[in-house]
Amino acid sequence: MAMTSEERSDYPLCGAKKKNGEKCRAFAGQGTKHPGVGACRHHFGNSPAHEKHAAKREVERKMMTMGAPMNITPAAALMGVLRATAGHVSWLATEVANLSSLDGPDAANLTTLYAEERDRLARVGAACLSAGIGKAEVELAEAQTEAVAKAINAAMSRVGGLSSKQKQQFGQALRQELAGLSAPNPALPAPDAGSVEPVPA
């Protein structure tokens, strides 16, 4: 059943320029592996270049329609990109190290991606430092350590039952444990947990 002009206007069209100067009215991707996106089969929609372009357009379309807005701070966004890029670099480094030869398209793609991701990691890392994110993380870890230590010390004072020596030993052990927990990122210096004081007798 033929579509009305109104129904047809709801579907994306090929839009390629025909020999007579008019735009192609075939559906986008008609007769190709990517219906609804890109050129139709009469305008080289089945060529490798068009298929690659259509795949990119489809990803962009899904990103725009399915990528819902998120509440995120600039610092969190930068750190998210930094961590993701570091993961990419680590994986690519392993793949490149396992190559038996640097010849061939696969090796070329891997080494190119490896170089690009290393450059991206350096740029994002520099942006994080410029934004003071590294310093902010250390200060946050220190503040969290101090808050936890104070809460535990206060709870111990309420409960009682420990000798002065036991409280002092507990304070020392707590300093060591919190120092490790507060620095999950090995690239960051361990925070100073010296603010944890033994509970007075």
pTM exceeding the 0.95 threshold for the entire prediction: no
Packed helices 105-130 and 74-97: angle between N→C axes, nearest 10 degrees: 150
Instruction: Give the residue extent of every domain in the chain.
Output: 7-66, 74-130, 135-181
Sign of CA dihedral 24, 30, 32, 35: positive
Q: Which residue has the tokens 């490798």?
A: 48
Q: What would the two tokens of residue 90 be? A: 């680590």
C-alpha 38/C-alpha 54 separation (Å) is: 5
The pLDDT tens digits for 13-67 are 888 888 898 999 888 888 888 888 888 988 988 888 888 888 878 777 776 777 6
Greater pLDDT, 155 or 118: 118
